[in-house]
Structure 1
Amino acid sequence: MSAVKSSPLHTLSPLTPSNELSDVCGHQAVLKLENIQPSGSFKIRGIGHYIQKSIERGCDRVVSSSGGNAGMAAAYSSKIMGIPATIVIPKSTPSFMISKLRQEKADVIVHGEVWDMAHKKAITLAENKKCCLVHPFDHPDIWEGHSTIVDEILEQSTETPAAIVVSVGGGGLLCGILRGLHRHGATDIPVVAMETEGAHCLRAALDAGKPVSIGEITSIAKTLGALCVTQGVFDLKQGIQLSSHVISDKQAVEACINFADHHRMLVEPSCGAALAAGYSGLIQELRESNLIQKKGPVVFVVCGGNIVSIDQLMDWKKQFKID
């Protein structure tokens, strides 16, 4: 394997100040810009790492069950590593994502109404022992790859962060953040986990004391659309102050619009969930309640998003009657 291919597939993303969010939060806010990763989101960190590890174990083909950010990461990683990829997507995936996936040289199969059905199809396609099945979020190698975000944050920040704010779907990114904090002995940094109503599997799990299914996804934040959070969250959250917050789809879209106006970048509502912690005033409330540190910046992980366009953002703006 060449030196290039054995190197990480992700890039070091910037940690940049946000004057607008700082003003709203009443606290210094910085952005970890994972939306500029080669595959369009943070997913390249964990999925790229997992695929590289799988190739070392003899994998010669990739199958993924996601038409969103995980699918894009799997397709991009496979192309760079020089092995074929099949991406199984549910019927709910926007048509433009099929074109994006094919641009990465992936075969695309449309199967089932929702991700869970697509994943069952992917499992049958990946029965060959040399085939690597890429779960969107649930594997320790994926969490290990995502944990490099913490490595970079701690190296790039001149002060210990007051908190790290992340969106949560199935919990892969959250597990990566928690693992990274443990590895660095930085468990005193609070983590603020954000979800939208109708995709709130972490909140449901914390309320129940274990991972439970929320039954169906009703949020427009489809890439947060896991019915059940990974058990890894419960295994890794010990010793870390983790607070869970659920917002509306409207708040997530408002955050996306504000972010586009302020930073000239498009992100999807799944990412807007984390940004909404700042724009909605939640961070200010947490600061006043001593649930985040008084000193240091609040780090917002701008996780990215491929399933978004200007037209779609405008449609959501109209749907939620946002001025």
Structure 2
Amino acid sequence: MKNAYKKRIDEANVYDAAIKTPLQKQENLSNRFNNNILLKREDLQPVFSFKVRGAYNKMANLSKDELARGVISCSAGNHAQGVALAAQKLDCKALIVMPSTTPLIKIKAVEGRGAEVVLHGHTYHDAYNHALEIQKKESLTFIHPFDDPDVIAGQGTVAKEILADCPDNIHAIFICVGGGGLIAGIAAYIKAVRPDIKIIGVEAQDADAMTQSLKANRRVLLENVSLFAEGAAVKQVGEENFKLCQEYVDEMIVVSNDEICAAIKDVFEDTRTILETAGALAVAGIKSYIKKNNIKSETLIGTASGANMNFDRLGFVAERAEIGEERETVFAVTIPENPGAFKSFCSLIGSRSITEFNYRFSSHSSAHIFVGISVRDFQESQLLIKTLNDAGLEAIDLTHNEVAKLHLRHLVGGHAPEAENEVIYRFEFPERPGALSNFLNNMGENWNISLFHYRNHGADIGRVLVGIQVPPNEKETFQIFLSQVGYPSWDETGNPAYKLFLGN
């Protein structure tokens, strides 16, 4: 199979629309991690993403009649722009179905290339099904974002360029994975030419469809998928893509949202370029791989797959980058409520910089402090928490506690003794009109909302923390409500951050 794909990739027609992007050494990152780290700068493509390669190769292989009838596709961003540019180059009508939640900047980018945009549904899958309906009615050709041999071959030209620019020893190539088009193309070509090079896929947490599929030896359909790295957020990988990955991918790595944010900062410090969240997956994967395997003096290549970043998200990325780099730690510390206790706590922190500080009177005997502290690394964080505990202060590490990082540090108020039978749930609401109304309309009339916190992060989802007073005899009814409302949710009632600062 790999030789057949090598032939397809060698014959692929992409350069009427795409450019040959540079393979660029990341000086700061290489020095920090004692390896030769290179980035394949696909963010420099005309549409700021590799997607134009596969879209153009697919469409360039269509017949004159197919081009005359026009093409249709569905996408919330990068693939849509790739199809629009390819259609512009081939003088072909293009219709793109996009979810109604798609940011205006992406809609304008597609329309700016001359494509027609139809907004439908709230998710990629809503748009996909609607696109198939239109395709049948109007006899258009569907351009799949990833599950198509011509699209895979177009993306595979990235591998050909990498080997041309770096003929020396390469230890591994790291590739972001969504539906699997890019990794399938690169893996098939590399394993046909240089089977000694490791192919490592990188996925975001809660969007790891390929990782789960390879483990299960079948294509897994995720019930929910996190949209943080929305450019690589799919519920199920492509059929053809999965077959190729089964054959040629050596390893998969799953990284956290904080690690992605840290990777965006790393690339910015080397290139002054801001990658989108999915575009930074490979860099996050490289760092995780080096730490896990103690890799030194090797050449590691990552695909910077895209730079279509919403400006509104930059605040969140900056906020979480230091945690992802393990240069900030977040603690909850309980101190005695007596004169001099606060001064003693500060002396234990020493000369370290405090990045955030929240204090709340708890009782006449104790007080709770929420504090962020700059540290050099994870080891210093652990040493500090030991120092605090040894001094008789109860310190809890909240660095990886989502409720603490997303909500608690921005909430006002404190304990609510009268909020009886309170349960705390974390939700991901779709960022669309009516999302809150849908939630409230499904909720039981006898339940009181005792806490509500929401922040806009410039993404397709809103992260919401809700406190609801649910009597014990209505727990089953509450579970039915959670199922009916249909939003991803997590029970945080037992979360230590909630118990310390907000619980009754």
In the superposition, the TM-score normalised over structure 1's length comes to: 0.89
Letter in 1 for 2:101: S
CA–CA distance in structure 2, aligned partners of residues 129 and 88 of structure 1: 14
Q: Which residue of 2 aligns with 1:123?
A: 132
Q: Which moved more, 1:53-62 or 1:76-85?
A: 53-62
**Is the 1:266–1:309 Cα contact (8 Å) retained in structure 2?**
no
Q: What is the CA distance between 1:129 and its match in structure 2? A: 7.4
3-state DSSP of counterpart to 1:301: strand
Of 295, 298, 301, the match for 1:299: 301
Structure-2 separation of matches of 1:261 and 1:38: 23
User: What is the CA distance between 1:7 and its match in structure 2?
Assistant: 5.4
Q: Which runs of 5+ in 2 are unaligned?
A: 1-12, 329-504
Which residue in the other structure is 2:279 paired with?
Answer: 271
Partner of residue 285, structure 1: 292
Give the residue type in structure 2 aligned to 1:314. Answer: G
Give 3-state SS (helix, strand or coil) of 1:223's partner: helix
Query: Is the CA contact 1:196–1:219 (under 8 Å) kept in the aligned structure 2?
Result: no
Task: Give the counterpart letter for 2:228 in structure 1.
Answer: I
How many percent identity over aligned positions? 26
Q: Distance in 2 between matches of 1:217 and 1:301?
A: 22
CA distance in structure 1 between the partners assigned to 2:312 and 2:301 by the alignment: 29
| 1: CA distance, partners of 2:125 / 2:57 | 23
Deviation digits for residues 4-39 of structure 1, max 9, x if unmatched?
x99542111101111122123321111110111112
**How has the CA–CA distance of structure 1 residues 241 and 67 changed in structure 2, closer, same or farther, with 3 Å as cutoff?**
closer
Distance 1:321 1:12, change over 3 A: closer
The answer (yes or no) to whether the contact 1:189–1:240 under 8 Å persists in 2 is no
Does residue 312 (structure 1) correspond to residue 313 (structure 2)? The answer is yes
- Residue 108 of structure 1, aligned match among 102, 117, 120: 117
State which of 219, 226, 238 in structure 2 corresponds to 1:230: 238
Mark the CA change 1:295 to 1:132 in structure 2 (over 3 Å): closer, same or farther.
Answer: farther
Letter in 1 for 2:239: Q
How many pairs align?
311
| 1:176 maps onto 2:185 in alignment | yes
1:249 counterpart residue number: 257
How do 1:1-323 and structure 2 match up within 5 A? 8-56=16-64, 58-60=66-68, 61-127=70-136, 131-184=140-193, 186-237=194-245, 240=248, 242-278=250-286, 280-286=287-293, 288=295, 297-306=299-308, 308-318=309-319
CA contact (8 A) 2:29 2:270 kept: no
Task: List runs of 5+ in structure 1 lacking aligned partners.
Answer: 289-293
CA root-mean-square deviation: 2.2
- The CA distance in 2 between the partners of 1:214 and 1:10, in whole Å, is 32
Distance change >3 Å, CA 22–CA 218, structure 1 → 2? same
Offset at residue 239 of structure 1 (A): 5.4
- One-letter code aligned to 2:315: M
Q: Which shows bigger deviation, 294-303 or 32-41?
A: 294-303
For 1:286, give the aligned amino acid. N
Return the offset for 1:54. Answer: 1.9
Greater C-alpha Rg: 2
Question: Which AA in structure 2 matches 1:27?
Answer: N
Structure 1, residues 162-220: CA drift from partner, whole Å, max 9, x if none? 11101000101011111212442x22210111111121101110121111111122241
Secondary structure in structure 1 of the residue aligned to 2:117: strand
Q: 1:56 to 1:297 in 2, by over 3 A?
A: farther
Contact 2:201 2:249 in 1 (8 A): no
The SS at the match of 1:59 is helix
- Please state how far the C-alpha of 1:125 moved relative to its aligned partner: 1.4
CA distance in 1, matches of 2:80, 2:97: 8
The superposition leaves residues 121-145 of structure 1 with CA deviations (integer Å, 9 ceiling, x where unpaired) of: 1111112675221111110101111
1:24-57 residue CA offsets vs partner (Å, 9 max, x unmatched): 3321111110111112111111111001112456
Question: Within 2, Cα distance between the matches of 1:214 and 1:71?
Answer: 23
Match of 1:291 in 2: none
User: 1:88 deviation in Å?
Assistant: 0.7
Q: CA deviation at 1:254?
A: 1.8
Mapped contact 1:210–1:231 kept (Cα < 8 A): no
The secondary structure found in structure 1 opposite 2:169 is: coil
More strand by proportion, 1 or 2? 2
Matched residue SS, 2:261: helix
- Counterpart CA distance in 2 for 1:177 and 1:7 is 17
Aligned residue number for residue 480 of structure 2: none
The 3-state SS of whatever aligns with 2:62 is: helix
For 1:129 and 1:56, how far apart are their aligned partners in 2? Answer: 17
Q: Deviation per CA, 1:47-77, whole angstroms, max 9, x where unpaired?
A: 1100111245633212110021101100111
User: What is the CA-CA distance between 1:160 and the residue it aligns to?
Assistant: 3.2
The 8 Å contact of residues 154 and 160 in structure 1, kept in 2 or not, is answered as: no
Verify the 8 A CA contact 1:189 1:241 in the aligned structure 2.
Answer: no
